[in-house]
């Protein structure tokens, strides 16, 4: 029976699955030779046996372990002259946090004199008092309130360590502590019917048995489940010699951090409490003091040598754990003992700095450093963020549609946003929802808030592309543009009043909140270089304008994966020509209006190609329905008719003719190209002429990728490809220059995914538009789902917003079908994803596993996608290596 007991010296307890997480950590520290009290570990399997049979279930194995510990410490448990005192700390299995520690086991009436020889009588009795107060509730079930009422002074005074100035002499204090001990032991006898355990071995056995049984109880299992811990996790134990923290000389306890939790820079910081034990410094019984500084109570002032020894131990703990750490320590007569070292809690910027530093110091591989960073943490490097220490007056909550934060005056229209921008005061554009006509205002605004909309609504998509913070779906916000009043959070704001949009938290705040500015250099830049070296999959940017392309190039993308050409048409002069085309009678009149747009479109494409310098540029032909280019109100329609010199009845008739009940499923995308071919002909000509001019200007190859949107049938693809090829041939003849190009399509309907084999026969690339594909697969409106999405997420209907993170079960299966069939139709077809999921780390991981060639996302999410792609490649290689024959 005893041979089954699994008790080892602490240095040998590195297996967290067997001995629990705390024991495994302490084993690593022990192996590094750090100053630690000797001890041993009891396995989680033995913990379960103790719960059912008591500590006697361990048999002689516990005696052997105690004997080794006594020899290592040079003291014996229960010795009357120089006794060994012990601590029992829980070591929970993976996925759970442990129970409270029991300290000072071994101090009792028979050993008090021996402890007093070491630390003094008052300190010895204080240790005994502390043992009863912690042991009796846990191990004996005594009511805590009854113990506290038995004290003739408050618990804070009883546990205050050294007596305060003006207190009774030490002899009087020792006598008072003796009376308190007697009172507590009387409560134990009254409540349990038995005296407090009189021998150290009885204390140890009861402490182990009570902790194990408490852990295994149904109540404890339910509490673990409520915390999100593993209810079935086992409990082992760490039994160590006590580092007292109370006694003569420099004594105390505290915690120390190896690095700054905000920046990640190496910096020893923390706090300690003189004449304290365990977590006294965190409990607030007395005011703890900083480790460093010029105050009289700091450790640096009290004993510089002890601080130096602690700093060396902390550095050793960081090396042993291969991570920044927070250590728990005790000082006993100036000697430092480490009791634990856990991973340092840290901010996003610190996480990057720490991972890079550890890799450069050789403590981590670069691949391991990359895997340590949650890609979403990079948001704090890429955008201004609200200072976490700043007060917040929240006036509205919605969906966090585009990260970052900005403060500025409220603007209720694109015109107002432009006026504020002209004054040098970028505004917060506040709208019920945005449309294409708001683009110019969004370009100059500092941030955007809308009352309606979801994660892939117009405001969300455009704001992400611009890198502007955006919150959508703020349902409790009331907007009265006519009166110029925004009502939110019980307050009213007029145009020009200052508010803050926090796109990371999905909140609108009153006033101008303090900001933390982005940082692109240093550790962040190094991490990005490592990410690019490890990733297989390309990362392109969704860039609609040359300005977007310049931002994307600055983020070191592999090209443009989606250029939405409609966003080029909303400049004032261009929108007029576009509206003339829409109102034109017949193809010739349409071509005349489009001829005015051609030079602008061509110039944009030339600049785009020059900026990207030989990198692939995928240009999507016009996608939205034509009614989006017309004004909406009767007043604006009348103004348009007057400006164009046509009857207002004609403008209204044309607007009514273009109106659709469900425009997202109406005449848009390739359907425009089929029914109004002049539009795509003009765009194709602008692309090819720009390719010729850009190649001449840069001497770099320009191979534009022309993408046809919303394809559902092979005939749509072949018909429009033939027209594009005809334009290409015409441009070659006119310019007397050859050029190459590719034609592909955007797979965003379920039918296109299912028919990908035949579509790929005529398409050199397939780019999956997962915004629309998700919308059509679910039957969800991406613009309107924000109204109920939070309720759905709260109820667990969806694990995540499917417009934010790819639905791998439904939409993902369609993608896998399309990948397989598309490559069957054209083995070398290039596969990309250009929906908003391209910047979501989990979705990027899926694309790596599915074998995509690239993902494309907004420029400001490109670093996130680059890191996620690197992590996906590292994990995929690891999985392949683990599955290879002979792999360990």
Binding residues: 564, 620, 748, 769-772
Spatial contact of 189 and 198, defined as CB atoms under 8 Å apart: no
Alpha carbon distance 113, 532 (integer Å): 67
Decide if 260 is catalytic. no
Alpha carbon distance 856, 270 (integer Å): 44
Number of residues written out for the chain? 888
Structure tokens of 643?
A: 């400006």
Alpha carbon distance 550, 556 (integer Å): 10
Alpha carbon distance 144, 95 (integer Å): 29
HSE-up of residue 561 (Cα within 13 Å, Cβ side): 33
Q: Residue 237's beta-bridge partner residues?
A: 42, 90
Catalytic residue among 108, 260, 563, 834: 834
The bridge status of strand 705-708 relative to strand 742-747 is parallel
Question: For residue 545, with 0-12 CB atoms within 10 Å meaning exposed, 13-18 middle and 19 or more buried, which class applies?
Answer: buried
The bridge status of strand 854-857 relative to strand 538-542 is parallel
| H-helix or E-strand spanning residue 24 | helix 21-31
Catalytic residue among 443, 458, 567, 627: 458
Structure tokens of 799?
A: 């694990």
Angle at 196 between CA 194 and CA 200, to 5 degrees: 130
Spatial contact of 257 and 279, defined as CB atoms under 8 Å apart: no
- Secondary structure class of 491 (helix, strand, coil): strand
Residues at the binding site for Mg(2+) are 748, 772
Which of 239, 200, 236 is CA-nearest to residue 108?
A: 200
Spatial contact of 260 and 72, defined as CB atoms under 8 Å apart: no
The phi, psi pair for 339, rounded to 5°, reads: -105, -25
In DSSP notation, 426-457 reads --EEEESS--GGGHHHHHH-SEEEESS--TTS
> Residue 95 carries which DSSP code?
T
Q: Residue 743's beta-bridge partner residues?
A: 706
Which of 21, 32, 26, 33 is CA-nearest to residue 10?
A: 26
Alpha carbon distance 744, 748 (integer Å): 13
Instruction: Write the secondary structure of 787-856 as one string of H (helix), E (strand) and C (coil).
Output: HHHHHHHHCCCCCCCCCCCCCCCCHHHHHHHHHHHHHHHCCCCEEEECCHHHHCHHHHHHHHHHCCCEEE
Residues at the binding site for substrate are 564, 620, 748, 769-772
Alpha carbon distance 755, 760 (integer Å): 9
Alpha carbon distance 44, 95 (integer Å): 13
Spatial contact of 516 and 384, defined as CB atoms under 8 Å apart: yes
Spatial contact of 786 and 457, defined as CB atoms under 8 Å apart: yes
- Secondary structure class of 272 (helix, strand, coil): strand
Alpha carbon distance 223, 228 (integer Å): 9
Decide if 834 is catalytic. yes
Alpha carbon distance 692, 727 (integer Å): 14
193 sits in the region (left: phi over 0; alpha: psi -120 to 50; else beta) called left
Instruction: Write the secondary structure of 149-177 as one string of H (helix), E (strand) and C (coil).
Output: HHCCCCHHHHCCCCCCCCCCCHHHHHHHH
Angle at 847 between CA 841 and CA 850, to 5 degrees: 145
Spatial contact of 159 and 111, defined as CB atoms under 8 Å apart: no
Angle at 371 between CA 367 and CA 374, to 5 degrees: 150
Spatial contact of 534 and 526, defined as CB atoms under 8 Å apart: no
Spatial contact of 380 and 520, defined as CB atoms under 8 Å apart: no
Q: Which residues are catalytic?
A: 458, 834
């Amino acid at each position: 029976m005893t041979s089954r007991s699994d008790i080892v010296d602490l240095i040998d307890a590195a297996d967290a699955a067997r001995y629990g997480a705390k024991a495994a950590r302490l084993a690593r520290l022990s192996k590094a030779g750090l100053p630690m009290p000797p001890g041993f570990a009891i396995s989680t399997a033995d913990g379960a046996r103790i719960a059912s049979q008591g500590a006697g279930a361990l048999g002689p194995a516990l005696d052997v372990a105690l004997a080794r510990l006594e020899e290592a410490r040079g003291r014996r448990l229960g010795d009357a002259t120089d006794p060994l005192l012990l601590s029992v700390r829980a070591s929970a299995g993976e996925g759970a946090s442990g129970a409270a520690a029991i300290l000072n086991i071994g101090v009792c009436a028979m050993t008090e004199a021996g402890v007093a020889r070491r630390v003094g009588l008052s300190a010895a009795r204080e240790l005994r008092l502390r043992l009863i107060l912690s042991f009796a509730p846990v191990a004996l079930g005594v009511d805590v309130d009854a113990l506290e009422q038995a004290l003739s002074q408050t618990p804070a005074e009883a546990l205050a360590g050294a007596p305060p100035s003006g207190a009774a002499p030490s002899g009087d204090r020792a006598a008072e502590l003796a009376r308190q001990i007697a009172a507590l032991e009387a409560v134990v006898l009254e409540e349990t019917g038995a005296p407090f355990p009189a021998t150290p071995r009885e204390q140890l056995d009861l402490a182990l048995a009570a902790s194990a049984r408490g852990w295994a109880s149904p109540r404890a299992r339910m509490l673990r489940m409520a915390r999100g811990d593993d209810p079935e996790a086992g409990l082992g134990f760490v039994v160590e010699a006590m580092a007292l923290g109370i006694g003569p000389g420099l004594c105390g306890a505290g915690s120390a951090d190896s690095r700054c939790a905000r920046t990640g820079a190496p910096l020893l910081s923390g706090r300690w409490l003189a004449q304290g034990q365990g977590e006294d410094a965190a409990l607030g019984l007395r005011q703890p003091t900083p480790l460093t500084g010029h105050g009289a109570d700091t450790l640096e002032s009290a004993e510089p040598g002890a601080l130096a020894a602690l700093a060396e131990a902390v550095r050793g703990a960081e090396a042993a754990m291969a991570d920044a750490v927070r250590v728990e320590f005790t000082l006993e007569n100036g000697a430092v003992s480490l009791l634990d070292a856990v991973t340092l809690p840290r901010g996003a910027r610190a996480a990057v700095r720490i991972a890079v530093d550890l890799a450069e110091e050789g403590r981590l591989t670069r691949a391991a450093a990359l895997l340590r960073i949650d890609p979403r943490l990079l948001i704090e490097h890429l955008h201004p963020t609200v200072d976490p220490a700043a007060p917040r007056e929240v006036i509205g909550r919605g969906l966090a549609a585009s990260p970052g934060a900005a403060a500025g005056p409220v603007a209720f229209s694109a015109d107002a946003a432009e006026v504020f921008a002209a004054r040098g005061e970028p505004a917060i554009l506040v709208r019920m929802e945005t449309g294409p006509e708001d683009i110019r205002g969004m370009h100059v605004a500092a941030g955007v808030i809308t009352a309606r909309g979801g994660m892939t609504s117009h405001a969300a998509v455009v704001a992400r592309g611009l890198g502007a913070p955006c919150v959508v779906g703020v349902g409790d916000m009331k907007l009265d543009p006519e009166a110029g009043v925004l009502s939110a959070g019980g307050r009213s704001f007029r145009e020009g009043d200052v508010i803050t949009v926090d796109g990371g938290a999905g909140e609108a705040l009153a006033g101008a909140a303090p900001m933390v500015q982005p940082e692109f250099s240093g550790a962040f830049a190094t991490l990005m270089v490592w990410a690019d070296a490890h990733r297989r999959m390309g990362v392109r940017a969704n860039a609609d304008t040359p300005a977007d392309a310049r931002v994307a190039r600055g983020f070191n993308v592999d090209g443009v994966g989606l250029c939405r050409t409609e966003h080029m048409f909303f400049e004032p002069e261009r929108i007029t020509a576009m509206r003339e085309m829409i109102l034109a009678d017949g193809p010739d009149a349409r071509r005349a209006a489009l001829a005015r747009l051609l030079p602008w479109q061509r110039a944009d494409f030339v600049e785009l190609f020059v900026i990207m310098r030989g990198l692939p540029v995928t240009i999507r032909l016009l996608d939205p329905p034509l009614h989006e280019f017309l004004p909406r109100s009767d007043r604006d329609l009348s103004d348009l008719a007057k400006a164009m010199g046509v009857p207002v009845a004609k403008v209204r008739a044309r607007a009514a003719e273009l109106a659709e009940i469900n425009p997202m499923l109406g005449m848009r995308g390739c359907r425009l190209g089929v029914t109004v071919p002049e539009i795509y002909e003009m765009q194709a000509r602008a692309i090819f002429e720009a390719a010729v001019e850009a190649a001449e200007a840069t001497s770099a190859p320009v191979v534009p990728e022309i993408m046809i949107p919303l394809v559902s049938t092979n005939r749509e693809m072949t018909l429009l490809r033939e027209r594009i090829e005809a334009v290409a041939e015409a441009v070659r003849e006119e310019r007397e220059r050859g050029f190459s190009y590719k034609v592909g399509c955007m797979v965003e309907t379920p039918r296109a995914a299912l028919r990908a084999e035949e579509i790929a026969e005529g398409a050199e690339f397939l780019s999956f538009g997962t915004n629309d594909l998700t919308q059509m697969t679910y039957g969800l409106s991406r613009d309107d789902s924000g109204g109920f999405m939070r309720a759905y997420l709260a109820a667990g209907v969806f694990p995540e917003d499917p417009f934010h993170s790819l639905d791998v079960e439904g939409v993902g299966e369609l993608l896998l079908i399309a990948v397989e069939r598309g490559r069957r139709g054209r083995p070398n077809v290039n596969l990309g994803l250009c929906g908003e999921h391209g910047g979501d780390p989990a979705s990027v991981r899926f694309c790596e596993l599915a074998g995509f060639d690239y993902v494309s996302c907004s420029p400001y999410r490109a670093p996130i996608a680059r890191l996620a792609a690197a992590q996906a490649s590292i994990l995929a290689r690891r999985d392949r290596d683990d599955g290879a024959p002979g792999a360990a």
